[in-house]
């Protein structure tokens, strides 16, 4: 099968067609408030007081978002406090984004009349760039151009039985067609890491999976905490999960059965196609910005039901430039949040639907949204700031 997407100069295909304005700040927000078809990243961190490693990670995310296939062109401003650091120099970011084949325009308060001048110039540029991007037409593209990312949250028994296996079926199908898929959250595979390691492409990848888990457990123990005593979280326990191992065994179903080609760091781009494990923490929304920076053109949140009573899921697209899908297999969650859920696989449990057919339904939903149908989250303009996955101390 195929989807309808936007062909880019470097051969990638976008499921959306945005003008991205980065980094964050009043200039970016003002431009996006005025001009339709623009996006910007909202974070709680711009690099001040961060270590060089964490600043490089911020740069990797900004550059990766700019190079995402869903982005037609980029406006980059030099007004953020972070651009004083060498890792975050506006010129460096612009050059690396442009190297991916994107048109990049740079705004500089010193040359463009201060913040007010940058806002005015940025609005003019954004209008022209959006108009230019609007002339592009979707074309038929094979599934090898899909790049998907997934995480699970509020996991319960329905997640491991129906929700995560449906994602796994989708991942297997896309990877078999030559596409790319990302599975993350290192803390969510503890106790099941050896199963993923057995599926590694080579001994080096297997070691990287095991090392990632060992490193996370060591980090927790360095604070005097055994991570297995605080995970599963209360919401998971309320949903019927009794141990971290049980939770992890259900979580890795999202990876399907394909070979794991490599282990990536947060926001790192893969060198090839296939299934990749992303070594990062379980922060609910930050992971999606990392997936988009790595090239994902569509992302999914597989939702359980533990601790969700009263939540309406009023959340926009935390992947910034990639459509965001809510999926669940929990009947109560689905009934509570029908206006927000894009895909429901609880029919495997309640109606005896074949798990493969449930996976096919998810595949068709993904193809539909990749081709232009809005995910339900995309109909909202509100998105909370994202806490990027930065792990070193802040000074």
Please, are residues 363 and 173 in contact by the beta-carbon 8 Å criterion?
yes
Average pLDDT on 364-376 reads 98
Taking the C-alpha atoms of residue 255 and residue 25, their distance in angstroms, rounded to an integer, is 36
Q: Which of 144, 262, 247, 242 is nearest to 196 (CA)?
A: 262
Does pLDDT of 102 surpass 70? yes
* pTM as predicted: 0.94
Three-state secondary structure call for residue 180 = strand
Mean pLDDT of 148-168: 92
Q: What distance in Å separates the CA atoms of residue 165 and residue 360, rounded to the nearest whole number?
A: 11
- Quote the mean pLDDT of the chain: 91
User: pLDDT tens digits, residue range 210-234?
Assistant: 999 999 988 888 888 877 776 666 6
CA 150 from centre of chain: 7
Residues 6+ apart with CB under 8 A from 128: none
Pick from 62, 124, 115: which is nearest to 89 by CA? 62
Handedness of CA 9, 10, 15, 19 (dihedral sign): negative
The percent of residues in the chain predicted with pLDDT above 70, rounded, is: 93
Closest residue by Cα to residue 266 from 247, 288, 234: 288
pLDDT at 357: 96
**pLDDT band for position 7 (50/70/90)?**
very high
Write the CB contacts of 165 (distance below 8 Å, at least 6 apart in sequence): 253, 348, 355, 358, 359
pLDDT, average across residues 303-307: 77
Q: Look at residue 245 and tell me whether its pLDDT is greater than 80.
A: no
The secondary structure of 64-116 as a DSSP string is HHHTSTTEEEEEEES-SGGGGSGGG-HHHHHHHHHTTT-EEEEE-TTTTTHHH
The upper half-sphere exposure of residue 317, i.e. CA atoms within 13 Å in the direction of its Cβ, equals: 24
Mean pLDDT of 346-367: 96
């Amino acid at each position: 099968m195929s989807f309808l997407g936007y062909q880019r100069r470097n051969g990638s295909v976008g499921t959306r067609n945005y003008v991205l304005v980065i980094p964050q700040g009043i200039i970016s927000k003002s431009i996006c408030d005025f001009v339709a078809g623009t996006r910007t990243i909202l974070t709680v961190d711009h690099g001040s007081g961060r270590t060089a490693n964490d600043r490089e990670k911020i740069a990797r995310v900004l550059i990766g978002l700019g190079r995402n296939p869903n982005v037609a062109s980029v406006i980059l401003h030099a007004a953020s406090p972070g651009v004083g650091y060498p890792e975050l120099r506006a010129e460096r970011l612009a050059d690396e984004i442009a190297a991916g084949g994107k048109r990049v325009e740079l705004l500089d308060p010193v040359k463009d009349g201060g913040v007010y001048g940058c806002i005015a110039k940025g609005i003019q540029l954004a209008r022209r760039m959006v108009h230019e991007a609007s002339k592009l037409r979707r074309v038929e593209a094979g599934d090898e151009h899909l790049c998907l990312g997934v995480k699970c949250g509020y996991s319960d028994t329905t997640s491991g039985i129906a929700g995560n296996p449906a994602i796994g079926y989708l991942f297997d199908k896309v990877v078999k067609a030559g596409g790319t898929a990302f599975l993350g959250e290192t803390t969510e595979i503890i106790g099941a890491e050896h199963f993923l390691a057995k599926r590694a492409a080579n001994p080096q990848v297997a070691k990287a999976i095991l090392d990632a888990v060992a490193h996370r457990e060591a980090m927790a123990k360095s604070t005097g905490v055994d991570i297995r005593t605080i995970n599963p979280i209360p919401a998971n326990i309320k949903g019927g999960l009794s141990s971290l191992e049980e939770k992890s065994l259900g979580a890795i179903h999202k990876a399907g059965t394909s070979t794991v080609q490599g282990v990536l760091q947060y926001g790192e781009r893969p060198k090839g196609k296939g299934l990749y494990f992303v070594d990062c923490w379980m922060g609910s929304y930050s992971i999606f910005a990392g997936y988009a920076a790595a090239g994902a053109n569509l992302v999914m949140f597989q939702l359980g039901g533990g601790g969700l009573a009263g939540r309406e899921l009023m959340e926009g697209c935390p992947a910034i430039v990639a459509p965001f899908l809510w999926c669940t297999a929990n009947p109560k969650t689905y009934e509570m949040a029908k206006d927000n859920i894009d895909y429901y696989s609880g029919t495997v449990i309640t109606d005896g639907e074949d798990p493969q057919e449930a996976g096919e339904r998810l595949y068709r939903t993904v193809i539909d949204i990749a081709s232009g149908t809005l995910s339900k989250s995309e109909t909202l303009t509100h998105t909370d700031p994202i806490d990027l996955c930065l792990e070193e101390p802040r000074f």
